[in-house]
């Protein structure tokens, strides 16, 4: 279904869908998004006459609804990996790929995005889609955010070991990609050595618990990564659920399930994952805090729901992290603009946009 939907998207359809999703994210309490963007070309893989039109349209969507965005333009070269090496791209994957590093660099070199709420970064889809030699290009982009799917599933590790004799993390390390600029997305199935490498590099690790749960991918080693020195943040990934409170709460709850111990993370640490660490991971180091000179991005939580009834102000952060949900968000301000008021986006009808955009993919 994912491939079927991706196959149908045009620049106009992509804009409409992204507008709806970004509006929903704002209403849920997200103020910034790192868009892992790899829908580059036409359905048959041919470039558009404007090579970056799809990137431009997803940024247009973010600007339309007011969310802060970092476009993570993604390198995607191969269709998979096994002991015999890399596979050719399938028909469904052609539009994701520039076919070579040189073409990727040529296209992204033409990318010109503007706006005070827009920044750019680099992404590597995964070791399954980018070979070790091609990873070297990423080292030239370490002055801006670099994101990569890393050890999301055990099979990915098995494929890397069979083809390269190393874990995906070790391949990234050998290519010089591990650094404070890197955000490893998922990082669910890591060896102790992998965890040490990521921690020593000062990398960020983006957990996406509702997606990892939805796909039955497993529970990542959150406490071990945090102890090793990695910075934890969260993403909504597949948007199976769009709720920042559920994502950060799940870091602690999944750790409880894995370790059968409570209290690995306190509410302050989890709030940092949803704010300061998240902003840093997508290249807004000045964000995620309320202080003079920081971006004026913040949300307000209503206290009238059953979930928050009787909240003790001295325990307010605990109450918000462990009880609140996206439905409790009343107001959202991004870059000083009051975008969500009374729980609804001030400029668009989000539910109607979502309904039209989703239906159009499967008609």
- Which tens digits make up the pLDDT trace of 327-358? 999 999 999 999 999 999 998 899 999 898 88
The structure tokens 């920042």 sit at: 244
Q: Is the per-residue pLDDT at 138 higher than 90? A: no
Q: What is the mean pLDDT of the segment spanning 180-205?
A: 98
Q: Of 46, 75, 57, which Cα lies nearest the Cα of 18?
A: 57
Whether 123 and 73 have beta carbons less than 8 Å apart is answered as yes
pLDDT at 303 (0 to 100)? 85
- What three-state secondary structure class fits 349? coil
Query: Three-state SS string across 20-80, please?
Result: HHHHHHHHHCCCEEEEEECCCCCCCCCCCCCCCHHHHHHHHHHHHHCCEEEEEEEECCCCC
Query: CB atoms < 10 A from the CB of 221, how many?
Result: 24
- pTM for the full predicted model: 0.95
What is the Cα Rg of the chain in Å?
A: 20
Whether 181 and 144 have beta carbons less than 8 Å apart is answered as yes
214 is a catalytic site residue: no
12 is a catalytic site residue: no
Task: Give the DSSP per-residue string, 117-138.
Answer: TEEEEEEE--TTTS-HHHHGGG
pLDDT at 358 (0 to 100)? 84
- Which tens digits make up the pLDDT trace of 51-88? 999 999 999 999 999 999 999 999 999 999 999 999 99
Whether 177 and 207 have beta carbons less than 8 Å apart is answered as no
Query: In this structure, what token pair is assigned to residue 218?
Result: 């497993």
pLDDT band, very low/low/confident/very high, at 313 (cuts 50, 70, 90): confident
Q: In what order do the strands lie in the sheet with 329-334?
A: 298-301, 329-334, 337-341, 344-345
Phi (first) and psi of residue 108, to 5 degrees: -70, -25
Q: Of 236, 237, 256, 257, which Cα lies nearest the Cα of 247?
A: 236
Query: How far, rounded to the nearest angstrom, does the alpha carbon of residue 163 sit from its chain's CA centroid?
Result: 27
How far is residue 149's CA from residue 168's CA, in Å, rounded to a whole number?
10
Task: Give the DSSP per-residue string, 280-300.
Answer: HHTT-TT-SS-STTS---EEE
Phi (first) and psi of residue 134, to 5 degrees: -75, -20
Catalytic residue among 40, 41, 186, 254: 186
- Which tens digits make up the pLDDT trace of 93-137? 999 999 999 999 999 999 988 788 999 999 999 999 999 999 988
- What three-state secondary structure class fits 341? strand
Nearest-5° Cα angle at 203, 200 to 205: 125
How far is residue 320's CA from residue 244's CA, in Å, rounded to a whole number?
11
| Burial of 126 from C-beta contacts in 10 A (0-12 / 13-18 / 19+) | buried
pLDDT at 309 (0 to 100)? 85
Residue of higher predicted confidence among 148 and 316: 148
Catalytic residue among 131, 194, 217, 237: 237
Q: What is the mean pLDDT of the segment spanning 311-319?
A: 79
């Amino acid at each position: 279904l994912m491939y079927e939907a991706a196959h149908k998207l045009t620049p106009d359809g992509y804009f409409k869908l992204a507008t709806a999703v970004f509006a929903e994210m704002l209403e849920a309490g997200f103020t910034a998004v790192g868009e892992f963007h790899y829908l580059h070309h036409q359905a048959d893989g041919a470039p558009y006459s404007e090579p970056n039109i799809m990137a431009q349209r997803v940024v247009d969507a973010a600007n339309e609804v007011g969310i802060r965005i970092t476009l993570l333009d993604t390198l995607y070269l191969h269709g998979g990996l096994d002991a015999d090496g890399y596979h050719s791209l399938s028909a469904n994957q052609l539009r994701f790929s520039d076919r070579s590093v040189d073409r990727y660099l040529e296209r992204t070199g033409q990318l010109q995005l503007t706006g005070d709420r827009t920044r750019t970064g680099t992404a590597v889809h995964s070791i399954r889609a980018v070979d070790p030699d091609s990873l070297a290009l990423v080292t030239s982009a370490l002055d801006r955010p670099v994101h990569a799917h890393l050890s999301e599933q055990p099979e990915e590790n098995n494929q890397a070991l069979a083809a390269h004799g190393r874990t995906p993390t070790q391949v990234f390390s050998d290519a010089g990609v591990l650094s404070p600029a890197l955000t490893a997305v998922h990082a669910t199935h890591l060896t102790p050595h992998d965890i040490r490498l990521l921690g020593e590099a000062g990398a960020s690790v983006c957990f996406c618990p509702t997606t990892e749960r939805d796909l039955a991918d497993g529970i990542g080693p959150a406490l071990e990564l945090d102890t090793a020195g990695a910075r934890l943040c969260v993403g909504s990934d597949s948007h199976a659920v769009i709720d920042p409170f559920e994502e950060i709460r799940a870091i602690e709850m999944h750790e409880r399930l894995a370790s059968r111990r409570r209290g690995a993370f306190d509410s302050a640490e989890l709030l940092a994952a949803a704010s300061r660490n998240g902003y840093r991971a997508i290249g807004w180091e000045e964000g995620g805090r309320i202080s003079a000179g920081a971006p004026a991005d913040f949300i307000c939580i209503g206290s009238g729901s059953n979930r928050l009834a009787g909240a003790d102000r001295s325990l307010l952060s605990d109450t918000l992290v462990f009880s609140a949900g996206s439905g409790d968000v009343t107001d959202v301000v991004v870059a000083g603009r009051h975008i969500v008021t009374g729980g609804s986006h001030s400029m668009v009808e989000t539910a109607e946009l979502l309904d039209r955009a989703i239906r159009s993919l499967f008609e």
